[in-house]
Amino acid sequence: MSKLPIPFAKHTTYAGHGGIDFPQARGTIFRASGPGVVYHRNSTPRGGDQIWVRYDTGVKVGYCHMDSFDGAAAIGTRVVEGSPLGRVGSKGKKSTGPHLHIEISGQAYSAAVWQYFDPARVVGNSGGGNSAAAPATPTAPPIVTQEDDMPIMIKANVNIYVLSAGQIKLCDSTRQVTAAKAAGIPQRDLVGTVAQQNQVFVDLLDIFGVPQNVLDNRGWVLNPESGKFEKNGMWNWERARLAATKG
């Protein structure tokens, strides 16, 4: 499988980051990296306005922090390399300035991006596809971007959760906690009264873009595919979207 070209030449990331950032001036057009279909658009507190493309290679890529959906590619749009998708912005909590964040659906680490994208190739300047009709967008000077979306383990009262951008999983065994620690995910134990811990936890859910209604009064997490709250359940935006479309 040939790898896709990246949206812009300049890119950055940091330890624990869930994707790759491309610092750009606000309003800069970003383009599709190859043939595929726009299959989803959504907004979250952390990622702001987002557009998702399912490329013909099978990979599903999210483009986050868009300036707005005005003029952006609509759901169902068939794209080729160089097709305009939207404009760079800085929407979303913790975004430190205009940049395009891309991530791979179902993957929590930036290294996953390089499994599907070639950092030596840039959209519009890769020698193939629609590149002749879509010259590379000039890059702006890089900015420092950090979104604080590194996965963390949170112990709130009696439950331990792995929390990351738009995703939450309840760890119901020592094995799961040990595996998370082995993956380098730090643990934070909330302190204070039950009410104080609950308030901090609610704030964290909001920051990470996780709705409160995916937890029940036991702290179990909703599995969107079964529609049930499960002791070992996991919720994320993608699973919820797929469950909704199947329903």
Complete domains list, the chain, with CATH: 4-133 (2.70.70.10), 152-246 (no CATH)
pLDDT at 177 over 60: yes
Instruction: Tell me: pLDDT of 140 over 60.
Output: no
Classified as helix, coil or strand, 232 is: coil
pTM of this prediction exceeds 0.85: no
pLDDT at 147 over 90: no
Res. 124 pLDDT band, cuts 50 70 90: low
Q: Which residue has the higher pLDDT, 191 or 121?
A: 121
* Runs of H (alpha helix) within the chain: 174-182, 194-207, 237-246
pLDDT at 5: 95
Which of 142-156, 175-189, 192-206 bottoms out in mean pLDDT, i.e. has the lowest?
142-156
Nearest CA-CA partner of 54 in 31, 82, 34, 72: 34
Tell me: pLDDT of 63 over 50: yes
Band (127; pLDDT cuts 50, 70, 90): very low
pLDDT tens digits for range 67-89: 999 999 999 999 999 999 999 98
Quickly state the pLDDT bin for 56 (edges 50, 70, 90). Answer: very high
Residue 148 has pLDDT above 70, yes or no: no
Buried b (16+ CB within 10 A) or exposed e, 161-190: bbbbbbbbbbbbeeebbeebeeeebeeeeb
Max mean pLDDT among 67-81, 160-174, 226-240 falls in 67-81
The pLDDT of residue 116 is above 70? yes
**pLDDT (average), residues 146-161:** 75
Q: Is the Cβ–Cβ distance between 30 and 85 less than 8 Å?
A: yes
What are 86-107's pLDDT values in tens digits?
999 888 777 777 889 999 987 7
Region 100-123: mean pLDDT is 88
Mean pLDDT of the region 200-211: 77
Kindly report the backbone phi and psi dihedral angles of residue 241, in degrees, each rounded to the nearest multiple of 5, phi listed first. -65, -45
Q: Which residue has the tokens 């097709």?
A: 83
